[in-house]
Structure 1
Amino acid sequence: MMGSLRFWLLGGTAVVLCGSIPTFAQETGVATGGLSDIVVTARKRSESMQKVPVAVSVASADALEQHQIFEAAQLPQLAPSLQVQTVNSQVGAKNFSIRGVGTAVYGPQVESSVAVVIDDVVMSRPSMGVVQFFDLDRVEVLRGPQGMLFGKNASAGLINIVTAKPKIGKTEFLAHATWGKTNSVTSGNEATLEMAGNVPVSSNSALRVSGFVTRQDGFAKNVYQSENLGLTEYGARAKYLVEGDVLQLYVAADIAHEEGPGGSVLIRRFAAPGGVIDTASRADGVIPSKDNGLVSGNARTTNSFDLGGIQATLGYDLGDGYSLSNITAYRSYKDSLQFDTDSTSLSLFDQNQGGRDYWQFSNELRLTSPGTGPFTFQAGLYYLYVNAREFLTQGGNLETLLPAPPAGMSNLGVVLDFQARSKSAAAFAEGQWAITDKVKLMAGGRFTHDELRFYSSRTNPNAFAPLADLGVDNVAVKNDDFSYRLGLQYEVNNQTLAYATYSRGYKGPTFDQVAVTPVDEEIAKSYEIGIKSTLLDNRLRLNLALFRTDFSGYQAQVLAGSTLAYRTVNAGDLRTRGVELEFSALPIDGLTFNGGLTYNRAEYRNFGSVPCYPGQPTGTSGTNVCLPNGSTNVSGNQLVVAPKLTGTLAGRYEAAVSSDATIYVQADGYYRSAFRYTADLDPQMRIGGSVIVGASIGAKLFGDSVDASLFVRNLFDKRIPTWITADPVAGAYGDAAGGGDYWHQFGTTSFRTVGISLNYRM
């Protein structure tokens, strides 16, 4: 209790001191100018970021291009409270965590604690949020529970992706091309071409069309057989906007296709010395290690997906600043995969193939008041239907490993077919009352009704005993919840805003895909105080937030020991608390600095019955020891993929050399302290602290029509995996006794890349 009190007292003092920094007058002779205002939609209306009492990080389209960020895995370099990890064997999909909390659960029945919204449409599954960063307006990272106004869930935070809208009365053409050389085990070529065009259709309407194609050589190489482990992705968007005096219509559609496994390849990181996998791998010329990029599978590795959707937004001006809008959207995602589970030339467990078939329909009706006045509000109704199916066939021949296999049970095989259908309906409202000219009270609530049904068909032909207890199940669950947010904001002066909020977030119930039993809802209770200040004649922007969030019923996934499967459970209680600092500075015209620092203590408070890892020290009681029942208690450990300290720093200098030419140089760094990919203290799942450095040099010609640059990402080639996971079949191989077997995956951020970038605007 005293520790928490000291934390808030110290934090409150820091906020007061930050808000007390005076705004100094500009000295005579210094060139005028300042930082550009940043507009966000963190409260579903366009507002200055410095006037919104929400902790939000923003990456503009220009910032994304300047830092060569073209996919979600690179976003933490601009938002230190955000972490991203790969969804195991699911090409392209990412799981986000904010302030240490996210979701890494395999299965069609589970939604994310961090929601992804694209153009006001909530993506119900991580894979639906797979999006190439092209022709965007901005990406917003909203920290803390955001379920009031942004659709379903978002109990830990929200990624709000806003694409570029059609521009009425303007004709433009944009093109962006990059080529890079990645220091991977293959030739390492990457290339991207993106184009967008905007044309007026009439005096009050416009059409915008964009497309992209990207090619990435593989991050892994198969030394046993020749196969393409890279990826090719292409897609397109079309958007049409009509603005009348009273009515506004916005229609958008997009498609994307990706072929190739890319970053989803499972690569041997560690194998029990002298064990089956270690011996077979070394015989093939593959040495499992932290830098290993080689595999030796005798079965093929393939991966592909198709996604797309269409949405229509109809807006109606009710007069006097009031408006009514309705957003109807449909989205779908399908993929297929195949990989060699044992990743050796032996035929131990070669058959692992399946796919996913997701689609969703959503509708949101919203009433919005004028943005000014003593009382402003938004209220609405929301509906979401999701149909998510996942199927998988696994098999192999373990006869050589089982000294006396039961008759007819020499094979390890399973056929899984899961289907989750969910309905969610909600009513919500949030408002702000101006108590005085400087003080506003905020309050909002959301009532949600969820209905879920889970179908599970699990057959196990010719399987040995641990996998034989399977069947067919059909279960359902319903749940109601009321989540809310309360807050107070105080405008210290025109340049400084202080705020305090309390939020109750909600993530609906789900099912364990093995036992086919309900898993309770996830509840977040979050406290936050913050200050946003613009100082030194708009030359310095400094934002500070202190937070504490307690989660109960956190939904997590654990390896279920001898069942060789992953179980979804309520992992007890979590607590995250910390400090976030972000700044932008323009010390002299042409020189800008941006950065952020996050300190986060994210811990499991009550999480027992986690299966022991191979070689874990034994004991009869306590935490982080293997108990006689084969489980361990990880209470007090740092959350998965939750470094205690992260920081970003970027500097850019531009100088005009003529009326039509500007040169620039840029450098950026990203620091992340040590973290783990598992809740226990398994040494094989730990990643040490690292610093990732990037740089670029370039020129803008003919005004801003042409922008050419040379760039490097991950200058010092820090080999950081995007995911590490234990091999669940290590026990069947007999390798568990020797320390187990582990895979890792690599992505675009895992290697040094040197390249060129070219932008053209007309």
Structure 2
Amino acid sequence: MTKAQKALLLAGTGLFAVAQPAFAQTPQAASADGATEDVITVTARKREENLIDVPLPVSVATAAQLARDQIYNVTDLQRITPALEISQTSGGETNGGGRLRGLGTGVFNPSVAPSVALVVDQVPVGNLNFPQIFDLAQVEVLRGPQGTLFGQGASAGVINMTTVAPTTDRIKSSVAVDYANKGTGGSEVGELVLRSAINLPLGDDAAIRVAAQYKRETGLQRSKTTGRENVIEDYGVRARVLLRPSERVTVNLIGEYAKEVQDGQTFFAIAIAPNGTTPFGPPGGTIGGISTGAYTSPTGCNVVITQRAEEYCEDIPTFMTLNTGGISGIIDWELNDNLTLTSVTGYRERGFTQYTRDFSRLTGAPAARQEKAQEDSRGFNQELRLAYTGSSLDVVGGVYYNDFRFNRKPLGAGPYAFGNNLQGNRTGFSVCTAAGFFCPVPTSFTIEQTTNRTIAVFTDATLKLGDQFNIFGGLRYSDYKNLTLTGVNTLVPTTAFTTTDSNLSGRIGVSYRPNAGTNIYASYSRGYKPPAVGSNPAGALFQLLPESADTFELGAKFGISRFQLAANVFYTKLKNFQSQTSVFVGTALVSQPLNVPSVTSKGFELTIQGRILPGLSVNGGYQYNDITFPTGYVGDDGGNLGGTQFLNAPKHKFTLSTDYAVPFGDTVEGFLNANLVYKSEVLLASRADPRYRFPAHELINLGIGIRGRGEAGWSASIFVRNLTKSREPTAFLASTFAGQADGGIRAWPVAGLTARVVGVRAGFDF
């Protein structure tokens, strides 16, 4: 029996074993609206509903689960549900890095809309995301096209995040700390996380909540050239204000700012030694051997090459910063008992500064770098929607407007000496020796200005045909326009490319409720992702075709005592998947966007959530996803990838989050929590070489400690993330030497995913 078959059997057997006793028991009486004793509430359809009432595949992680599983950044979210994979690398990824059922955005270009929309407090973040997250009340992961209710970039699904809201009942505050020291208790990374929040009532009709997080990570990587360990430092602060000017009007105002500093975090460290056999250099030498020597020999920088991807060479250390800030306002006006008007306004800015970004990790040889580059983005969203709730009809409809602007420019006020190759004077991308006396690819800077806007009209409705049958569906009409301007070694653009498109998408489905605790549904939906702009190796601009996705769903949800079970099968046919390939430009390996003609994703999902025994809560899921490259598809290395499992898409994935508590009297209890992830083989680059397939593996995270019961809000524990030291990176990239692929592989490591973290944590609520 294969590992994948074992995982499938384990998932199915585990769910059956958990569910079987509950089926034998008499289910608890449900309320009139079908809710069981422990209700899981979601806003997947822009209104508060019991999860079991929503005829869509939705995974939910509560605030308690997010805290115990140490979900601190967007990459961590892939541990909460098997459908989600996150492939973020340097700078947090322009397009978010999210993939649902294997479908996501594989193009690092600001004109490309994300396939998986990231929505925070009803505001689409789009290409203005920040990797760190904090003070969350809930995360909902919606699979399949969601354009009838969510903004631009929801063709594959939505990550719907809600932050903790202020309340008017009393003053509340909390503080928590996580600490891990590299080398102590087997920890391979140092980590300090400080979190705090305070809620202040401002009378009976107003309140404010201020939350903040500081995170410092050290020692994930180390430069053998300088002896310094890298440091990633970030902090964020958010203020939420609640106002109720009247009984029927509620206003939420939100402002936030966050910043991240990456000092010494190299771009893909060498993880698998070069093995090229192309003759190169001295008689009898090979490019693989010479390249290996450049890293590992005493005349090189003496790196130890392991899949941990810890050590690297450099002549000039990398230093980058990322910052975001935004404000938003949500106004809900209850026009009467059945009709509510909602306005959602959001403005957000994002800045990514690359003082020096080293791509090659070589010493004494020409190395690829980006220097003195600033990328500034800003976006404005406005949504106005009307929601009607009646005895036989629920309808949400509205209009949506988005304006996004991106500007890549030289860092500083100038004047700029474009084309200067000398160290300290380079502005732009180059492949040069450190001093700049030899440059196979001379320094050049490409400015880019991208402006796009989306106008959409949408509606989503549920028609209730008696007590058992519902018909649901909706439509969305989108009008899109993008203008991209570029120029090389100039502040004035010399090339312009305009892209326009419009589209009608939507969904239709039916649900059957044989009883209050059961929901059986089937649906068809059409997803849409607008066109984008790409550039070829010569710098010429061209259009990436829009994506379209046809998705069929068949599923069922069951409320059993204190937990819910769900199962669904899915089939998605996607046309013109927006992706990219790696090609050589001179001696540098660069990315070129392209459309993959057709991709099909099909499979099934199982989930369980709730309390299955006194003191034991679980949130688990399993996904089988068969998604492959189309027949004859050629990978970046020229190999045939046709029929191969798709990029960043394990065929089998199992996730489980549990918390088990044992009382030690009336005021204290002990607890054990676990977050387990199993993945079958994962392809981490579009290459036929089998070494780019990371093998099947498990990720085990544990915590054990004590905490107060009831109103005594305190806890203390010991935690370990990546107990078995799995070495899965977030991505692989081919290694090059002297302008040729040398057979080596570079990796992007992540703390807790590639390296083990062991530490202590404590928290207090007042």
Query: Structure 2 length normalisation: TM-score?
Result: 0.86
**Unaligned residue ranges in structure 2 (runs of 5+):** 1-14, 29-34, 276-285, 410-426
Q: Secondary structure at the match of 1:722?
A: coil
Pair 1:281-2:295 in alignment? yes
Distance 1:530 1:27, change over 3 A: closer
Pair 1:488-2:488 in alignment? no
- For residues 105 and 153 of structure 2, the distance between their equivalents in structure 1, rounded to whole angstroms, comes to 12
Pair 1:697-2:689 in alignment? no
Structure 1 contact 118–162 (Cα < 8 Å) conserved: yes
Q: Partner residue of 2:122?
A: 120
Structure 1 contact 101–639 (Cα < 8 Å) conserved: no
**Partner amino acid, structure 2, of 1:258:** E
Pair 1:140-2:140 in alignment? yes
Pair 1:327-2:344 in alignment? yes
TM alignment of 1:271-310, pairs within 5 A? 271-273=273-275, 274-275=286-287, 276-282=290-296, 283-310=300-327
Pair 1:378-2:396 in alignment? yes
Q: Secondary structure at the match of 2:220?
A: coil
Q: Partner residue of 1:356?
A: 375
Structure 2 contact 548–576 (Cα < 8 Å) conserved: yes
- For residues 763 and 619 of structure 2, the distance between their equivalents in structure 1, rounded to whole angstroms, comes to 23
Q: Partner residue of 2:212?
A: 211
Deviates more, 1:576-585 or 1:271-280: 271-280
Provide Cα deviations, 1:509-548, integer angstroms capped at 9, x if missing partner: 001133311111011110001000012xx14421001000
- For residues 556 and 20 of structure 2, the distance between their equivalents in structure 1, rounded to whole angstroms, comes to 11
Of residues 429, 437, 446 in structure 2, which corresponds to 1:394?
A: 429
Q: Partner residue of 2:663?
A: 656
Structure 2 contact 449–484 (Cα < 8 Å) conserved: yes
Q: Partner residue of 1:715?
A: 723
Structure 1 contact 352–395 (Cα < 8 Å) conserved: yes
Q: Partner residue of 2:544?
A: 519
* Residue 132 of structure 1: how far off its partner (Å): 3.2
**Partner amino acid, structure 2, of 1:86:** Q
- For residues 675 and 533 of structure 2, the distance between their equivalents in structure 1, rounded to whole angstroms, comes to 43
* Residue 359 of structure 1: how far off its partner (Å): 0.4
TM alignment of 1:172-191, pairs within 5 A? 172-181=172-181, 188-191=189-192
Structure 1 contact 662–701 (Cα < 8 Å) conserved: yes
**Partner amino acid, structure 1, of 2:615:** G
Provide Cα deviations, 1:58-85, integer angstroms capped at 9, x if missing partner: 1111001112222222222220111111
Structure 1 contact 91–261 (Cα < 8 Å) conserved: no
Q: Secondary structure at the match of 1:571?
A: strand
TM alignment of 1:22-171, pairs within 5 A? 23-26=23-26, 36-88=38-90, 90=92, 94-125=96-127, 128-171=128-171
- For residues 701 and 636 of structure 1, the distance between their equivalents in structure 2, rounded to whole angstroms, comes to 53
- For residues 362 and 399 of structure 1, the distance between their equivalents in structure 2, rounded to whole angstroms, comes to 44
**Partner amino acid, structure 1, of 2:622:** L
**Partner amino acid, structure 1, of 2:608:** F
Provide Cα deviations, 1:242-290, integer angstroms capped at 9, x if missing partner: 1221322111100011112576642112353453532221121114342
Deviates more, 1:130-139 or 1:311-320: 130-139
Q: Secondary structure at the match of 1:320?
A: coil
Q: Partner residue of 1:4?
A: none
Distance 1:268 1:45, change over 3 A: same
How many aligned residue pairs are there? 702
**Partner amino acid, structure 1, of 2:382:** N
* Residue 159 of structure 1: how far off its partner (Å): 0.6
Of residues 498, 505, 509 in structure 1, which corresponds to 2:520?
A: 498
Distance 1:761 1:226, change over 3 A: same
Structure 1 contact 168–200 (Cα < 8 Å) conserved: yes
TM alignment of 1:258-657, pairs within 5 A? 258-261=260-263, 265-273=267-275, 274-275=286-287, 276-282=290-296, 283-337=300-354, 338-349=356-367, 351-353=369-371, 354-370=373-389, 372-391=390-409, 393-397=428-432, 410-459=440-489, 472-514=494-536, 515-535=540-560, 538-562=561-585, 564-584=589-609, 586-605=611-630, 608=633, 610-613=635-638, 624=640, 634-657=641-664
* Residue 165 of structure 1: how far off its partner (Å): 0.9
Provide Cα deviations, 1:727-750, integer angstroms capped at 9, x if missing partner: 4x54xx1542x4355343334422
Q: Partner residue of 1:706?
A: 714
* Residue 560 of structure 1: how far off its partner (Å): 2.8
Structure 1 contact 229–265 (Cα < 8 Å) conserved: no
Q: Secondary structure at the match of 1:575?
A: strand
Structure 2 contact 360–369 (Cα < 8 Å) conserved: no
Q: Secondary structure at the match of 2:72?
A: coil
- For residues 453 and 81 of structure 2, the distance between their equivalents in structure 1, rounded to whole angstroms, comes to 33
- For residues 667 and 569 of structure 1, the distance between their equivalents in structure 2, rounded to whole angstroms, comes to 41
* Residue 228 of structure 1: how far off its partner (Å): 5.0
**Partner amino acid, structure 2, of 1:357:** D
* Residue 434 of structure 1: how far off its partner (Å): 0.8
Structure 2 contact 433–439 (Cα < 8 Å) conserved: no
* Residue 695 of structure 1: how far off its partner (Å): 1.4
* Residue 676 of structure 1: how far off its partner (Å): 0.7
Percent identical pairs in the alignment equals 26
Q: Secondary structure at the match of 1:658?
A: coil
- For residues 718 and 410 of structure 1, the distance between their equivalents in structure 2, rounded to whole angstroms, comes to 38
Query: Structure 1 length normalisation: TM-score?
Result: 0.87
Provide Cα deviations, 1:682-712, integer angstroms capped at 9, x if missing partner: 2332211101112111112263411111111
- For residues 20 and 179 of structure 2, the distance between their equivalents in structure 1, rounded to whole angstroms, comes to 47
- For residues 163 and 734 of structure 2, the distance between their equivalents in structure 1, rounded to whole angstroms, comes to 38
Distance 1:227 1:246, change over 3 A: same
Structure 2 contact 92–131 (Cα < 8 Å) conserved: no
Of residues 650, 655, 671 in structure 1, which corresponds to 2:678?
A: 671
Q: Partner residue of 2:687?
A: 680
**Partner amino acid, structure 1, of 2:546:** E
Pair 1:724-2:732 in alignment? yes
Distance 1:690 1:201, change over 3 A: same
Provide Cα deviations, 1:110-153, integer angstroms capped at 9, x if missing partner: 1211110001011121xx22253322110111111111111112
Distance 1:650 1:423, change over 3 A: closer
Structure 2 contact 267–359 (Cα < 8 Å) conserved: no
Q: Secondary structure at the match of 1:234?
A: strand
* Residue 92 of structure 1: how far off its partner (Å): 9.9
**Partner amino acid, structure 2, of 1:277:** S
Q: Partner residue of 2:196?
A: 195
Structure 2 contact 92–129 (Cα < 8 Å) conserved: no
Structure 1 contact 708–758 (Cα < 8 Å) conserved: yes
Distance 1:734 1:213, change over 3 A: closer
- For residues 471 and 19 of structure 2, the distance between their equivalents in structure 1, rounded to whole angstroms, comes to 20
- For residues 23 and 175 of structure 2, the distance between their equivalents in structure 1, rounded to whole angstroms, comes to 41
Provide Cα deviations, 1:309-360, integer angstroms capped at 9, x if missing partner: 0011222221132011111110000011222222122241253222321100
**Partner amino acid, structure 1, of 2:335:** L
Structure 1 contact 509–521 (Cα < 8 Å) conserved: yes
Distance 1:509 1:118, change over 3 A: same
**Partner amino acid, structure 2, of 1:386:** F
Structure 2 contact 583–591 (Cα < 8 Å) conserved: yes
Structure 2 contact 93–108 (Cα < 8 Å) conserved: no
- For residues 417 and 544 of structure 1, the distance between their equivalents in structure 2, rounded to whole angstroms, comes to 49
Deviates more, 1:102-111 or 1:56-65: 102-111
Distance 1:712 1:270, change over 3 A: closer
Q: Secondary structure at the match of 2:65?
A: helix
Distance 1:397 1:199, change over 3 A: closer
- For residues 264 and 374 of structure 1, the distance between their equivalents in structure 2, rounded to whole angstroms, comes to 58
- For residues 414 and 674 of structure 1, the distance between their equivalents in structure 2, rounded to whole angstroms, comes to 40
